[in-house]
Each structure stands twice: as structure tokens, then as C-alpha cells.
Amino acid sequence: MPGEKKEQFVRLCVNVSAESQALSIVFVDMVLSWMKKFPAMSETALKHEHLFKELAVTIRGQAAQINAAQL
């Protein structure tokens, strides 16, 4: 694969990865918000909210590592 094509492909992969990680964070927030709306789940959501937030932080950290590795 010529150098320019390989660079374009790697850039595309990094962009797709970054977008999927951003979507994952959005979905984590949406699930937590959704759970809080239902009485049967709101207590569980509040009890485990810190885990949802930690998951989002982990995903952000992974995204930062991937982006740093590609620079």
C-alpha cells in the first residue's frame, strides 16, 4: 500500500474510532438518564451512577491514548 494511501487509511480508522468512542459516551449518558426516569430503575441508576461516569472517563482515556499514538 503506497505511503499516502496508508496514511489516509490510518487517519480514517482513527476518525472512526474517535467517533465510536464519542457515541459510546453519549449512549452511557443516555442510558443513565433513561434509567432515572423509571421508579423501578431510578434507585439502581443513582446507586451506580459513579460507575457510569467512570465508564465514560475510561472511554475518554482510551480515545486520548489512541489519538496520542497516532500523532
Type of residue found at 66: I
Instruction: Give me the count of residues in the chain.
Output: 71
Q: pLDDT 10s digit of each residue in the chain, 71 long?
A: 688 898 899 888 888 888 888 898 899 899 999 999 998 999 998 999 999 889 888 988 888 887 777 65
Q: Is the pTM of this model over 0.75?
A: no
Catalogue the long-range contacts made by 63-66 (C-beta closer than 8 Å, 24 or more residues apart): 63/17, 63/18, 63/21, 63/22, 66/14, 66/17, 66/18, 66/21
